Structure 1
């Protein structure tokens, strides 16, 4: 689920970003007047946001390289505290967001467009779905495609039975889908909706903090509180991106072991891989070959699809097809139980399992929300909230379902057939181990390494643009220096996170990601509250309230005076005697309404 999307996501937004130029006396029931301006208009660096986050990022990197042991100890202690004391919050919020976005789509708010009342979607549905598909692929699917279902099959989650039990396959696939379908994309949808609504409907700047205007007010949103929110968004993106890049380095290193026939890839090789790929990203940023990287990303999607088709055809095709309905049924059957897993139900065994799987995933997805949310917001202008939620939840979920059925199904089938993939090596080497038992193993292994490398470079590019946007007051075209700094910082943080894990590099990535994501999880709760407050005062909702009040009042008067023989008209009333008094609005709407009465 690591995101790559188009490398220059700013281009997907079209040529417009919005600023609010509506008159102060515009009635709240009317469509707001938004004056668009060029999205790529440069803006000055916010010295506070950039300066503080850059200083802390550099300090973290220095700490990691100069005193790896103390950082490892600190991250381990932080992980224990978060999982034990706040694990319940991750679980509740992740499942709560699923219910929240489904409620938004099904409620009266589902009709609200992410743009003007009469605005058509910026992209055709097919193109929109294709871009959503591209956002659902990445290093994460490559890394966990075989290893996660196989791991849950060989070592079932606590409370689901012993290894080899009759329901092991169903539970393994259901647990994998739980981590990769509705929950992550509901988390992304919250930020995506808040950003898209704020920019395209309300004319706010492209900052996470701007979505808090209904709660904090414009003054505080543009002040210290807003800056803190944007800094937390940068930190979340930095560590989430670094975790993804670390996974990519682990997998490329594992590929070198097999293709080049070298021994176990040590941390120095992994750091070298990160350094080379980060250098590739910096060169692409300096030379301005974003179009070329975007073309490579599209090629990557084709290669990923070709690899999936190859494994489907060469692998256990019938078993994979049978697995699709099985995993769907098992997922929905076990959804409530999986959502309720905490260490209260399973003690230390459950606590350890959750920190390596479910809570790590929720933290990882939360850390990716600034980037993914802003990306899906930019491509969704003109869509209604109902269309947005339906597309964002279903399209990537279907992609994940099919991907894990193919790769996880092939891995499980080999394991049951006597080929010990689970015991063949590390998680990052499981995919290569499976491919080694198929035709053209060298070719497919090289393709996997190429896929991960391109995901690495394009992912660093896209995430760095988002961090640059947050550092430069919401511009879609942050300066090259800022983008390069955040790209290099992401690579350096990824290297530190790998080193912190020691022999188990994956644990270093997971531990720090969980700790770093907690503050932004709190921000996201506030974001959901602010979004509901915004939507409740939307012109479409206010018009509906006026319409109900006016029609009800007119019908009562008409029936009372004329029985069945009456029709409805409208005319100006005396101040204080119109339908406005019947509509319950907040003070801001009442002031706006009185200003136009």
Structure 2
């Protein structure tokens, strides 16, 4: 515990205060945070759109620039992990639980409540095309570009410059030794704050979906008591995993996640409407690329009664920015030895394509069931007794072996739950022990208990939405931090000596 920084005590105090607020006065917490979030999204929606698109443009510039040849580490160092392990880390830390939770629900929402600016009839064929395209958009290039910016800055300064693995270290070219003062501590506290509540709410969603799946599969009552039992069991499992270290627990579970996710996706692809899915994937991918610029700057400025962009796109951009400290820190930790070009392409392109195929398979299947076969998926989603967490299982059980695959889905969600929480305890340990790449187990244990306690308390008091909103509020100052981080990174890269191109060797 001797490596603890002041950030640890400040962050723990904030976490405990918010948990108590959620327990004692959940409605008050929800009202206050909702008011703040509403103010930010209504008055600064343009800022979130410009910031997210700016991060994407910056990432593209790095790919084509000569600085792309610079390694995240010494120029002769090789990557620490092979591509399969690296990609599994990216997928697990980035969006695992979210893809499973929203894979059916989000396209169905857009299908029945399409973007106001598009002027299409709900539940129509045109609405179906838009539903999958906007799901691609919200889970595609923009969020992964946001993650890549944070991860690249952390990895560059840690492995190339030998700086501590805390986010404030990326600002040394701008503010010098003041990163060790109150400015640096403030930056790191915002990082920890966003991580705690971002991960806790995702764990809450994961718990709700596991309990929803179990109740649907075994005809059990989906009670709060069942959710508390699930959190307890999962906490024991992920704490055991976290104590084994990065190269055992998280590594093994990350590969398991990829295998289970591919099995589930391939099952639905080939047992479902395969031709419809692949046609929708191909068409929507083209539509996504074609409309990327327009969607990136779309605001319902001239439709004042519409809140669709605020409720979806701006909400998502803020949510991804709030998640960026956690995901960025973890991606940075596992990316030593990659070139900047390889890193940016890997972090953005591969997860984007996988996510697009995922939504085409799950969202396309659900839309096909409603549009062509008359299955009422949206009725399940909007039913208070069932909800979004049950939609995936309703879709799976429309096909042969659906009950078995529902069991696989529950295992997958639990596995994602474990690895997300495990990764988060690792990142929180790093950020509160001055950037240690192997934080003490005692620190990880404390953060693990705080995370699970936060998720449990919020589920019990109904305050998940309020804490999710609170973490998104942290996205506003962090977006500003990211802009200055880019400036600091560019300043450091300008002082680099660009490595020469590698020439192919030919045997005589």
Q: How far apart, CA to CA, are the structure 1 residues paired with 2:86 and 2:203?
A: 26
Aligned positions of 1:334-483 closer than 5 A: 334-342=291-299, 344-350=301-307, 353-416=308-371, 417-425=373-381, 426-483=387-444
SS of match in other structure, 1:439 = coil
TM-score scaled by structure 2? 0.90
Aligned positions of 1:94-243 closer than 5 A: 94-125=52-83, 128-129=86-87, 131-135=89-93, 138-160=96-118, 161-217=120-176, 219-243=177-201
The structure richer in helix per residue is 2
Q: Which residue number in structure 1 is paired with residue 40 of structure 2? A: 82
TM superposition shift of 1:359: 2.5
Q: 1 or 2 for the larger relative contact order (CA 8 Å, sep ≥6)?
A: 2
Q: Which residue number in structure 2 is paired with residue 27 of structure 1? A: none
TM superposition shift of 1:134: 4.7
Structure 2 CA distance for partners of 1:365 and 1:104, relative to 1, 3 Å: same
TM superposition shift of 1:95: 0.9
* CA-atom RMSD in angstroms: 2.5
TM superposition shift of 1:349: 2.7
SS of match in other structure, 2:398 = coil
Q: How far apart, CA to CA, are the structure 2 residues paired with 1:214 and 1:500?
A: 45
Answer whether contact 1:468 1:483 (CA < 8 A) is retained: yes
Q: Which moved more, 1:391-400 or 1:532-541?
A: 532-541
Q: Which residue number in structure 2 is paired with residue 282 of structure 1? A: 239
Structure 2 CA distance for partners of 1:317 and 1:526, relative to 1, 3 Å: same
Structure 2 CA distance for partners of 1:424 and 1:115, relative to 1, 3 Å: same
Structure 2 CA distance for partners of 1:445 and 1:80, relative to 1, 3 Å: same
Structure 2 CA distance for partners of 1:229 and 1:513, relative to 1, 3 Å: closer
Q: Which structure: larger Rg? A: 1
Structure 2 CA distance for partners of 1:371 and 1:320, relative to 1, 3 Å: same
Answer whether contact 2:396 2:406 (CA < 8 A) is retained: yes
Aligned positions of 1:281-320 closer than 5 A: 281-285=238-242, 291-292=248-249, 294-320=251-277
TM superposition shift of 1:266: 4.5
TM-score scaled by structure 1? 0.78
Q: How far apart, CA to CA, are the structure 2 residues paired with 1:518 and 1:494?
A: 23
> How far does the alpha carbon of each residue in 1:476-516 deviate from its partner, in whole angstroms, 9 at most, with x for none?
222222212211222232234445656xx6x4464233223
Answer whether contact 1:192 1:377 (CA < 8 A) is retained: yes
TM superposition shift of 1:165: 3.7
Aligned positions of 1:565-584 closer than 5 A: none
Structure 2 residue runs of 5 or longer lacking an equivalent are 382-386, 502-508
Answer whether contact 1:239 1:516 (CA < 8 A) is retained: no
> How far does the alpha carbon of each residue in 1:517-562 deviate from its partner, in whole angstroms, 9 at most, with x for none?
2222221111111111111111339x99xxxxxxxxxxxxxxxxxx
Q: Which residue number in structure 1 is paired with residue 506 of structure 2? A: none
Question: Aligned to 2:445, which of 484, 495, 513?
Answer: 484
Structure 2 CA distance for partners of 1:103 and 1:497, relative to 1, 3 Å: farther
SS of match in other structure, 1:347 = coil
Q: How far apart, CA to CA, are the structure 1 residues paired with 2:208 and 2:190?
A: 27
Structure 2 CA distance for partners of 1:272 and 1:120, relative to 1, 3 Å: closer
Q: Which moved more, 1:518-527 or 1:143-152?
A: 518-527
Q: How far apart, CA to CA, are the structure 2 residues paired with 1:495 and 1:515?
A: 21
Q: Which residue number in structure 1 is paired with residue 12 of structure 2? A: 54
Residue-pair matches, total: 494
Structure 2 CA distance for partners of 1:64 and 1:276, relative to 1, 3 Å: farther
Structure 2 CA distance for partners of 1:131 and 1:79, relative to 1, 3 Å: closer
Q: How far apart, CA to CA, are the structure 2 residues paired with 1:321 and 1:140?
A: 22
TM superposition shift of 1:423: 1.0
Structure 2 CA distance for partners of 1:93 and 1:268, relative to 1, 3 Å: farther
TM superposition shift of 1:137: 5.3
